[in-house]
Amino acid sequence: MRVKSVELYHLKLPLVHFFETSFGRVAHQETLIVRLITDKAEGYGEVPASAGPHYSYETVRTASYIIKDFLAPLVFKATDLDIGRILTGFKTIRGHNMAKAGLEMALWDLQARLTRKSLAQIYGGIKKSIPAGISLGIEDSVNALLIRIKASLKQGYRRIKVKIKPGWDIKVVGAIRKSFPEIELWADANGAYELDDWPLLRRLDRFRLTLLEQPLRYDDIIDHGKLQTKIKTPICLDESIKSFSDARQAIELGACKIINIKQARVGGFSEAKRIHDYCLSKNVPVWCGGLLESGIGRLHNIALAGLPGFVLTPDISESKRFYKEDIIEPPVVLERDGTIAVPDETGLSNRVIIARIKKYAVQTIAL
């Protein structure tokens, strides 16, 4: 069995509401859909890289270039679908984790279709449903954010994560705690602070956050270790953990107590699973993060979050939290009890609406 063709769709999806982090505000999400075709089945993956090199250095265009010139040729060369062997080939390309992850997702989805298994079975998930958490961006006013939190809780979301940055931190988190004394609350700085800001970050301790995500630089480990000795709130790393090796070093150095696992950031499911297994053995809680994925990446995340080490509520919301119209049907929905069902259908392709992918595509490449 050979992969006959690889199709790459660069999508521009309008967001129902802008999303603002410490590195900026977006009104659209750009993402890359990877479609693999064989004689017998199709597989879908997603590279949620966005338009600019802000969260990471990758963009939809760099990922599309790396897949076209370097990764797809390794997939075409494989005469059998030995995914392990293909991934060994990927290791000869340094970095570009999101590009690798999108292609790896599509390979596992293809495998699911060919072996008539669900993605959850392929990934080793054990949960029938997962709790849903929502990540809320920076707003124009504290009141606007409080209104969104109230609406999210009413919908059933089990925990709230808010984005913070210098000037939008103590006052905001304090106001949230005052209005919602008992909710599970997290904060994510996306690398906006420096170690010298520790007295300010220590003031967050009184608000009983479950975790403070990526307070310092996107590539730092050591200063996070120093910061953790000065604050009580558990530090969770996101951007800093790009591989199993980063995870091991961060844990050994005490740089974090929790890890956010995103398959896109760490270079795919296999690396995500290695980090998951290691953290489980070290009693380090992990959770599944998100990057505004369309339905395709979202379903991969849901399957991944079903693994046993994912003990904290993931950043996985229903499709309509970000998109009026998703590219899968039915879309991902939030149950009234604040959970999302883990699908048992064989792979994703029965749910993908190709006409919608084409509708939102700004560029298509067929290899």
The item of Mg ion, ligand OSB, none sharing an interface with residue 98, based on CB under 5 to 8 Å by kind, is: none
The nearer residue to ligand OSB, 30 or 238, going by C-beta atoms, is 238
Residue 210 within binding range of ligand OSB, rule CB under 6 A:
no
CB 47 within 8 A of CB 264: yes
Phi and psi angles of residue 243, each rounded to the nearest 5 degrees, phi first: -160, 170
Residue 188 within binding range of Mg ion, rule CB under 5 A:
yes
Q: Which one of 55, 108, 198, 287 is in contact with ligand OSB (CB under 6 A)? A: 55
CB 168 within 8 A of CB 188: no
Q: Which one of 292, 307, 340, 348 is in contact with ligand OSB (CB under 6 A)? A: 292
Draw the binding track, 111-150, toward ligand OSB (x: CB under 6 A; -: no contact): ------------------------x---------------
**Catalytic residue at 127?**
no
Least distance to Mg ion from the beta carbon of 42, Å?
A: 31
Part in contact with Mg ion (CB under 5 A); list of ranges 53-61, 152-160, 232-240, 300-308: 232-240
Q: Where are the beta strands (DSSP E) in the chain?
A: 5-21, 24-37, 42-47, 129-131, 133-136, 159-163, 185-188, 212-213, 235-237, 258-261, 286-288, 339-341, 361-366
Name the β-bridge partners of 287.
260
Burial class (CB within 10 angstroms; exposed 0-12, middle 13-18, buried 19+) of 79: exposed
Draw the binding track, 12-31, toward ligand OSB (x: CB under 6 A; -: no contact): ---------x----------
Residue 315 within binding range of ligand OSB, rule CB under 6 A:
yes
Q: In whole angstroms, give the CA distance from residue 180 to residue 146.
A: 9
CB 127 within 8 A of CB 342: yes
Residue 139 within binding range of Mg ion, rule CB under 5 A:
no
Which sequence positions are flagged as catalytic?
A: 163, 262
Name the residues that contact Mg ion, by CB under 5 A. 188, 213, 238
